[in-house]
Amino acid sequence: MILHCALLIVSGFTLWAIAYLTVTIERLTMSLQSSLDEIVVKLGAVRQEIVGKLADVQAQLDAANVPAETVDLSALTAAAQALDDIVPDAPATPSV
């Protein structure tokens, strides 16, 4: 009888522990996903800012008639593209 009660207590504790850990893991997963979503939003904003600045620099160079050979933006553009490649672009939605 004592062994039976001990087994029930251990089983109950084990089930409680499993339930508690499951809830904790779910909360951590939701928190992690929320953090990841925030990072993606921030990276998207940074991407827009970088692309805008590159376009501004190119427009200023073009307005000043600076030859492309004088100021080479290819390394800067490549670095910006590498950052852009970190977050995949949203799939294009087909127009109806």
Question: What does the alpha-carbon distance between residue 39 and residue 14 come to, in Å, rounded to a whole number?
Answer: 37
pLDDT digits (tens, 9 = 90+) for 38-54: 988 888 888 888 888 98
**Residue 62 pLDDT exceeds 80:** yes
Average pLDDT score over the chain:
85
- Burial per residue of 33-72, b for 16 or more beta-carbon CB atoms within 10 angstroms, e otherwise: eeeeeeeeeeeeeebeebeeeeeeeeeeeeeeeeeeeeee
Query: Residue 92 has what pLDDT?
Result: 67
User: For residue 95, what pLDDT band results from cuts at 50, 70 and 90?
Assistant: low
Q: Model's pTM, two decimal places?
A: 0.55
Higher-pLDDT residue of 40 and 91 is: 40
Please name the residue that has the structure tokens 């990276």: 43
Q: Is the pLDDT of residue 67 over 90?
A: no
Hunting for tokens 């089983």 — which residue is that?
11
